[in-house]
Chains A and B, each alone.
Chain A
Amino acid sequence: MLDTTAPRALPLAAGIGFKSRHFAGLIEAPGPVAWLEVHAENYMGNGGRPLAQLRALAERFPISVHGVGLSIGGERALDRDHLARLRHLCGWLQPASFSEHLAWSTHDTGFLNDLLPLPYTAATLTRVAVHIDEVQTTLGRRMLLENPSTYLAFADSEMAEVEFLAELARRTGCGLLLDVNNVFVSATNQGWDARAYIDAFPLDAVGEIHLGGHDEDTDDQDRPLLIDSHGRPVVDPVWTLYAHTIARGGPRPTLIEWDTDVPPLPELLDEAARATAILQAAEVTR
């Protein structure tokens, strides 16, 4: 188990997911954006524009490195080569935070490029804890683990997702990344109470919050089925749930995620400003 006394290094303010097309705009007028998040796998080339932009951004903003391909929830051993690439990236960049997902994406077939779900059992808990230990030991830093958006259930799940995440944080000392949109999406899709999920969540372990948009669909039984698309504005019920989270647990670094149909920068800055207002209101009332 890793020493987890290191302070949270991202500012208690709003950040956005970095997209290359917003580079110039962010350098010129970042507005309320106090930090940036990048997907680790996009910066594993040898050079060129992606690395040059990241180096320039890192001089101006605290950076959060968010992995989307480590397959921490996988049945297989972690990919050592990929871990080494993450260590290299975190080594030269020295980001303020590193996070990954409670999900899997790689199996014998290859890398499936999605955040796939796992049953919550004693056996998977042990396996994921071993993987988190390996990541934290290899990177020499505490990582944050993100709650997933899920669309289905496993017949063999034995415990609630919050219980599973809390136990992982307790066993490994990892922090948690609370994606409030994922809570809303999963709660709708699974028939949970989103607010009760937040109230049961170990907020003290939360080092970062994600907010993003989702799509609406229905399943074969005509029940609402929300899809975590990161392609729209954050919906009002998610803002309400976020405000509840902040009121309960205090301000946390908060990211606006927008990965598909990415809008012009001003629209992202508006979303970041809305998060900033909620964070500042919480500061005042504390």
Chain B
Amino acid sequence: MSGQGQFGAALLDPAQPAPKALRNPFGGSAGKRFDVYRNNVAVSLTQALETGFPTIAKLVGDDFFKAMAGVYLRANPPADPRLALYGTSFPGFLARFAPVAHLRYLPDVARLDLGLRQSYHAADAAPFDTTGIDPAAVMALSPRLAPATLVLSSRHPVHGIWRYNTTEGAPKPAPGAQDVLLARKGFDPMPYLLPPGGLTFARALKGRLTLSDAMTRTLADHPKADIAALVTLFFTSGALTGEPDRHS
């Protein structure tokens, strides 16, 4: 193995001794001096994960999170220097990490944390603005989901879990599946609980259907959907973009 190959492998594996070519400048082996680099790598990547998955850190507690992050980062160091992208495989890791196997909701909550981070860094887009357009004409428009808009579907109450852990006085989450809309108005993304039919509505807009057709499809799949509340949520959350054609 090359010099840097050995150095890198030993950095990530505390059981390995420091490579022999490394010395204490005052004589002897590098010893604790190599550990400075080991520590820098582990601490900085653990911190990146803690910043990137705040709800997971809250759920499992600081000490446990740090220990778990240590296991993850040694097997999955970042693929490139953009730490804002670090941890895309963390939800999958949580699904396989035996000590948290009983916390079945954890991977989806991690996907929510990751989604918020992706939304934060996503491209800016002008909000869908229907000012001055006849309401009937608006229904014939096809707004797009903004680049910062993401939709999550979970068998667990992920929105309730997120809210319970981030908002004082929020109710304790009850078991049950939840779909979540992540949308960014301005610069701060927010998770919204998607009511029944929300997933269908989002998919219809993703497929470039008009608002009218998307609403029709949503009601066909979910006859009891509160379509007015759904449309209002998408309009007010900043989830939509697209310059309406004002000549239509």
In the assembled complex, A221 has its CB within 8 A of some CB on chain B: yes
- A44 contacts B5, C-beta separation under 8 Å: no
Question: For the complex, what is the distance from the CA of A175 to the CA of B5, rounded to whole Å?
Answer: 29
Cβ of A154 to closest chain B Cβ, rounded Å? 6
Which residue in B79, B120, B121, B187 is a CB contact (below 8 Å) of A111? B79
Beta-carbon contact of B77 and A47 below 8 Å: no
Q: Which residues of A contact B77 (CB under 8 A)?
A: 109-113
A219, CB-defined interface residue at 8 Å: yes
Q: Which residue of B lies closest to A104 (CB)?
A: B4
Q: Of all chain A residues, which has the CB nearest B27?
A: A221
Is A155 in contact with B23, judged by CB distance below 8 angstroms? yes
- Contact between chains at B23 and A153 (CB < 8 Å): yes
Asked if B247 CB lies within 8 Å of chain A CBs, one says no
CB within 8 Å for A225 and B32 given contacts A79-B80, A82-B80: yes
Q: For the complex, what is the distance from the CA of A285 to the CA of B124, rounded to whole Å?
A: 50
Q: Does A147 reach chain B (CB closer than 8 Å)? A: no
**Interface pair A119/B78, CB less than 8 Å apart:** no
Which of A58-66, A68-76, A240-248 interfaces with chain B?
A: A68-76
Report the minimum CB–CB distance from B3 to chain A (whole Å): 7
Q: Name the residue of chain B whose CB is nearest to the CB of A215.
A: B36
Distance in Å: Cβ of B86 to nearest Cβ of chain A: 9
Inter-chain contacts of B124 with A (CB < 8 A): 47-48, 51-52
Give the CA-CA distance A152 to B40 in the complex, in Å: 14
- A217: B residues at CB distance < 8 A: 36
B158 to chain A, nearest CB (A): 23
A221 to B41 CA separation, bound complex (whole angstroms):
23
- Chain B residues, CB < 8 A from A49: 120, 187-188
| Of B8-16, B100-108, B167-175, the one touching chain A | B8-16
| B24 in contact (CB, < 8 A) | yes
Interface flag for A237 (CB, 8 Å): no
Assess the A109–B8 pair: CB atoms within 8 A. yes
Bound-state CA distance A50–B123 (Å) is 11
Report Cα–Cα, A156/B48, bound state, in Å: 34
- Asked if B30 is an interface residue, CB under 8 A from chain A, the answer is yes
> Is B234 at the interface (CB under 8 A from chain A)?
no
Q: When chains A and B are docked, how far (Å) is the Cα of A75 from the Cα of B34?
A: 19
| Residue B44 CB within 8 A of the other chain | yes
A71 to chain B, nearest CB (A): 8
Most buried by A among B34, B76, B80: B80
Select B9's contact among A109, A111, A221, A227, beta carbons within 8 Å.
A109
Given A108-B8, A112-B41, A225-B36, A41 contacting B81 (CB threshold 8 A)? yes
Given contacts A109-B12, A155-B23, contact A227 B36 (CB under 8 A): yes
Query: How many whole Å from A79's CB to the nearest CB in chain B?
Result: 7
| A152–B147 CB distance below 8 A | no
Complex-state Cα separation, A237 to B7, whole angstroms: 32
A113 touching B83, Cβ below 8 Å: yes
- When the two chains form their complex, are residues A69 and B80 in contact, meaning their CB atoms are under 8 A apart? yes
Residues B147 and A154 in contact, CB atoms below 8 Å apart: no
- Residues of B within 8 Å of A75, CB to CB, are 2-5
Whether B60 is near chain A, meaning CB under 8 Å from some CB there, is: no
A156-B21 in contact given A46-B123, A46-B147 (Cβ < 8 Å)? yes
Q: Report whether B187 and A48 are in contact in the complex, using a CB–CB cutoff of 8 Å.
A: yes
A48 in contact with B9 (CB, 8 Å) = no
Q: Is the CB of B25 within 8 A of A47?
A: no
Do A68 and B8 have beta carbons less than 8 Å apart?
Answer: no
Contact call B21/A107, Cβ cutoff below 8 A? no
Q: Is the CB of B5 within 8 A of A107?
A: yes
Q: Of all chain A residues, which has the CB nearest B12?
A: A109
User: Given A119-B21, A189-B33, 18 other A-B contacts at CB below 8 A?
Assistant: A44-B84, A49-B120, A49-B188, A68-B81, A76-B4, A104-B4, A107-B4, A110-B76, A110-B77, A112-B8, A113-B41, A113-B83, A114-B11, A152-B23, A152-B34, A155-B21, A219-B33, A221-B24
Binding site for A on B (CB under 8 A): 2-5, 7-9, 11-12, 20-26, 28, 30-34, 36-37, 40-41, 44-45, 48, 76-84, 120-124, 147-148, 184, 187-188
Which 10 A/B pairs are nearest by Cβ-Cβ distance?
A: A69-B81, A45-B121, A110-B77, A49-B187, A46-B123, A47-B124, A47-B123, A152-B33, A153-B25, A107-B8
* 28 residue pairs from A and B, CB less than 8 Å apart: A41-B82, A44-B82, A47-B123, A47-B147, A48-B148, A48-B187, A75-B5, A85-B82, A105-B81, A106-B80, A107-B8, A108-B5, A110-B79, A111-B79, A111-B80, A112-B77, A113-B41, A113-B44, A113-B48, A113-B83, A114-B41, A118-B4, A155-B20, A155-B22, A191-B25, A220-B24, A221-B24, A225-B36
